Amino acid sequence: MSHESKNPMVTDVFVKGAVQGWGIATSSTIPNVLMAFVLIRVLNVTGLLTILGDLFAPLMGLFGLPGEAAAVLIGGWMSMGGGVGVAVALFSDGALNGVHLGILAPAIYLMGS
């Protein structure tokens, strides 16, 4: 009688995890981040981002953030990927800097979880 091991091979476990990770990325993370980039671009082009920034400037100022940072919190409330996407889009536009991202990161993760 031969004794076959019931433990899966490390490579099989890795491949299964990679397939599951790819599914999560393509069905959740990438669409949320892409939506956030498009949303910020639309708000920027229409001028609504400036209005949003002016509206939320007093509240966000309490935390040392510009008013536009409210868009990050709104995006983070919808999804973690969306919040990260909004933050990166605003960072690339120059509306946020590294200090702002450091302040917003815990909020994104707490709101998006």
Residue 2: pLDDT band with limits 50, 70, 90: low
How far apart, in whole angstroms, are the C-alpha atoms of residue 48 and residue 63? 22
Query: Which residues form the domain of 51?
Result: 30-112
Whether 87 contacts 42, CB under 8 Å: no
pLDDT at 24: 82
Asked whether residue 60 is assigned to any structural domain, the reply reads: yes
Whether 49 contacts 43, CB under 8 Å: yes
Q: Higher model confidence: residue 54 or residue 28?
A: 54
- Choice among 21-35, 53-67, 80-94 with the minimum mean pLDDT: 21-35
Counting every residue written for the chain, the total comes to 113
Asked whether residue 7 is assigned to any structural domain, the reply reads: no
Q: 53-60 long-range contacts, Cβ below 8 Å, gap at least 24?
A: 53/95
pLDDT at 3: 56
Asked whether residue 61 is assigned to any structural domain, the reply reads: yes
Asked whether residue 2 is assigned to any structural domain, the reply reads: no
pLDDT at 9: 87
Which residues, other chains included, contact 54 with Cβ-Cβ below 8 Å and sequence gap of 6+? 67
Asked whether residue 65 is assigned to any structural domain, the reply reads: yes
Asked whether residue 20 is assigned to any structural domain, the reply reads: no
Which residues, other chains included, contact 60 with Cβ-Cβ below 8 Å and sequence gap of 6+? 66, 67, 68, 69, 70
Asked whether residue 44 is assigned to any structural domain, the reply reads: yes
Helix and strand counts by DSSP (H, E) for the chain = 6, 0
Average pLDDT over residues 2-25: 82
The pTM is what? 0.71
Task: Tell me the pLDDT tens digit for each residue of 44-69.
Answer: 899 999 999 999 999 999 999 999 99
pLDDT at 38: 87
Domain count, the chain: 1
Asked whether residue 95 is assigned to any structural domain, the reply reads: yes
